[in-house]
Amino acid sequence: MTSGHAALPPEDLLSDLARLRRQARSTRHAYWFPLVLFGLLTCASLPFYVSDVTQAGAGVAILRVSGPPTLLGGQQAGHDGLFLAWYWAIALVAGYLLTWAWYRRHQRRVGIKTPARAFTITGIVLAALAFLGPLLAADRPFRYGPVLLPVGDLWVRGTFAFLIAAAGLWVLAWAERSRVLALITLAYTGAALLASLYNVENFLYPLGWNPGYGSASARLAMLPNVLLPALVLLVAGAGAFLLRPRPDRA
C-alpha cells in the first residue's frame, strides 16, 4: 500500500527526529528563574555582611565578633554569624522550593517535564547539613588539621552558601541537559570560590576603593565578595530570560 506522499529516506527521518529533540530540550529550558532568584537572594543578604566596626582612637578600629563560627555564617569579625546563618538556611531552602514550584508550573505550561526534584533535594540537604552540622557539634572543639584547612578557608568569610547554590546548579544543568547552563554554573562556581578564598576588594583598589580600617568604608569590605557571585547570576539570568524559547509564539 502506498500513501499520497513519498516515504522520507532514513537520513531525513533521523534529521527530523534530532531537530524535534533539540526543540524539546530548548523548550524545557527554564533556568533563567533560579539564576535570577538566587542572584536576588544573594543581594538581599548584603546587610548581613556589613561589619560592626567601632572607632577606638585615631586610625584604630575594633571589630567585634558577636557569634560563634558556623558554616553558613562564617567567622566574620564584626557581624553576627548566627543571623547570617539563619538567613542563608531560610533563603536556600526557600529558593530551592520556589524553583521546584517554578518548574512544575513550567511543565504544565509547555507539556515537557524537567526533573528538578534532584536539584531541590540536593540543595535542601546541603543547606540543612551546613546549618545544623555545627550546631549539633557545638559541644566539640573545632580542630583544623592540615587536611581540613581548605574547608575552613571556604566557609570562614560567610560565603559557603554560594557553593551550595553552585552545587544545586550543577545538578540542574545535568537535569536540563544544558551546556549553556553548565558554562554559566562553571563561571558562577569560579566566582563563588574566589569570593570564598580571596578578598575581592583588592581588585577594586585601582578604582579608588580603599576600605581600610579606621574609615567608614571598612564596614563594607566584604560587599565585593558578595556582589561578584550575585552579578554573575543576575547577568546570566537576564540573558537567559531574554533568549528563552517562546513556544506560544512558535
Is residue 64 very low, low, confident or very high in pLDDT (cuts 50, 70, 90)?
very low
- Which CA distances in Å does 155 have to 76, 103, 191? 10, 30, 14
CB atoms within 10 A of CB 179: 9
| pLDDT value at 92 more than 80 | yes
Domain assignment of residue 17, yes or no:
no
CB atoms within 10 A of CB 11: 8
Domain assignment of residue 24, yes or no:
no
pLDDT score for 10? 59
**Which position has the higher pLDDT, 82 or 161?**
161
Average pLDDT of span 212-237: 82
Domain assignment of residue 172, yes or no:
yes
pLDDT score for 45? 94
Please count the structural domains in the chain: 1
CA 76 to mean position of chain CA atoms: 20
Average pLDDT of span 25-29: 52
pLDDT score for 155? 82
Tell me the whole-structure pTM to 2 decimals: 0.76
Domain assignment of residue 176, yes or no:
yes
**Which position has the higher pLDDT, 211 or 55?**
211
Domain assignment of residue 47, yes or no:
yes
| pLDDT value at 84 more than 60 | yes
**Which position has the higher pLDDT, 47 or 56?**
47
| pLDDT value at 236 more than 70 | yes
**Which position has the higher pLDDT, 212 or 26?**
212
Domain assignment of residue 21, yes or no:
no
Q: Kindly report, residue by residue over 95-132, the tens digit of the pLDDT.
A: 999 999 999 887 877 656 667 788 899 999 999 988 88
Domain assignment of residue 23, yes or no:
no
pLDDT score for 125? 93
CA 136 to mean position of chain CA atoms: 25
Helical residues (DSSP H) of the chain, grouped into ranges: 10-28, 32-44, 81-110, 117-136, 149-155, 160-176, 179-197, 223-242
Is residue 208 very low, low, confident or very high in pLDDT (cuts 50, 70, 90)?
low
Which range marks the domain in which residue 74 is found? 29-249
Domain assignment of residue 117, yes or no:
yes
